[in-house]
Amino acid sequence: MDDTGDRAARAQSAEHQLVNVRLPAGWTLTGLIAGLLLGWALAGSATIDPILAITKPVGSLWLRALQVTIVPLVAALLVLGITQMAQAARAGAVARRMLSWIAVVLIFGGLVSAFVLPMLLSVFPPPASAAGILSASTGPAQEVPGIGAFVESLVAPNIVEAAANTSMLPLTLFFAVFALALVRLPAGQRDTMIQFFRALANTMLLIIGWVLWLAPVGVFALAMGVAAQSGGAAFATLAHYILVVAAMGFIVMLGGYVLAWVAGGINPLRFTRAMFPAQAVALSTQSSLASLPAMLVAAQRLGVRETTAEFVLPLAVAIFRSTSPAMNLAVAIYVAHLAGVTLTPLSLAAGIAVALVISVGSVSLPGSISFVVSIGPIALAMGVPVGPLALLVAVEMLPDIMRTVGNVTLDVAVTTAVDRTSKD
């Protein structure tokens, strides 16, 4: 099984050929805590204003450097991800069944956050003093148009202007259609275009990696301003945020048990026992790829045919992040709640649409980069300010545990469903 996992890892690496960016996640969290503590300690003192006069421009500059890479990186990753899925669909009936189940899971995740999270926030609201805390570093939110203007906005007459205005919904749809058209080109032209977008993605990943290496300084500067305004409430708000967002991932993971039971014919208790070792690996490594050998063992224990498991699981690791729509949309809804942004059904629909498409392009990226690339476009499409993401990226390492465990669980659940429907 280990040999199979190694072959799958090499195949995935050869397919994506994206640079491996290592980020100082621990130092970023340290910068957040230090900034909050220092801002809290100096709040109301005579020294805080001169310090904020320095830290505020530093934090703003770092945030702008983070935002400037979003559009080109999203475009490149979408093209790569969707072309890979389109090519996978041509692999045969098993691949098409797998992609159908993936679509069901991703749509389910988006609907979970859109309907459940607002109710959860009404029952389990943030701390009373949390309103506006995480929006301290934001600019004005974009307006979401009415239904007529919303439909018209789906197609941008000028894609360059749409990129300049960060109109993420028409941009996302354009590059999704662009990728589908690309796979129909002759092989030579298709490969040239894919190589171009792969090079663009690698270039943007290097730039965003450099920016995130400065995250401890940028997050420290932003956190000081937040704590100076809100005091110790920032700590309670961040803890509340982590629990609420992780809860959305947990609901999606539970959906994996239902999927394995209803579609895969696997008793939930049996599925739980078989999945525990793979979930333990996911918990310790926070990597779906590192958990692949354990997932193959779990599939074997569940009676999944070896041919199905060795085809579906590596492909699922390469193109499938089951918790992404639910947890990414949850972040945007949470920020909107704190910033006082009213989300309409249209804005939620726009968020779900972008979340579904963006999840295809964000696989196999480090958690911090995936956080920025995935949630930034969703927030922009929903008219939610993106400034708070610069602070929330510092604690992403904690919700990312839930993301990985949920992804690993759904990878195996989808494999059981594909195997059973293939037998039938």
CB 233, CB 130: distance < 8 Å: yes
Task: Give the residue with greater pLDDT, 163 vs 132.
Answer: 163
Q: What secondary structure letter does DSSP report for 145?
A: P
pLDDT digits (tens, 9 = 90+) for 209-240: 888 888 888 888 888 887 777 767 778 888 89
Task: Give the residue with greater pLDDT, 279 vs 385.
Answer: 279
CA–CA distance, 111 with 4 (Å, rounded to integer): 35
Q: Is the pLDDT of residue 5 over 90?
A: no
Q: Is the pLDDT of residue 22 over 80?
A: no
CA–CA distance, 375 with 396 (Å, rounded to integer): 12
Task: Give the residue with greater pLDDT, 2 vs 269.
Answer: 269
pLDDT bucket at 133, cuts 50 / 70 / 90: low
pTM of the full structure: 0.81
CA–CA distance, 324 with 348 (Å, rounded to integer): 15
CB 326, CB 110: distance < 8 Å: yes
Q: Is the pLDDT of residue 93 over 90?
A: no
Residues 6+ apart with CB under 8 A from 358: 74, 78, 172, 324, 328, 373, 374, 377, 378
Domains and CATH numbers, the chain: 2-423 (1.10.3860)
CB 265, CB 285: distance < 8 Å: no
Average pLDDT over residues 371-399: 83
Q: Is the pLDDT of residue 382 over 90?
A: no
Task: Quote the Cα angle for 324-168-330, to 5°.
Answer: 30
CA–CA distance, 354 with 36 (Å, rounded to integer): 32
pLDDT bucket at 120, cuts 50 / 70 / 90: very high
Average pLDDT over residues 69-95: 80
- Coil, strand or helix: which one is 341? coil
pLDDT bucket at 357, cuts 50 / 70 / 90: confident
Structure tokens belonging to residue 339: 């910033």
Q: Is the pLDDT of residue 20 over 80?
A: no
Task: Quote the Cα angle for 47-49-51, to 5°.
Answer: 70
pLDDT digits (tens, 9 = 90+) for 286-307: 888 888 999 999 999 999 999 8
Average pLDDT over residues 3-22: 46
Q: Is the pLDDT of residue 156 over 90?
A: no
What percent of the chain shows pLDDT beyond 70? 84
Task: Give the residue with greater pLDDT, 1 vs 243.
Answer: 243
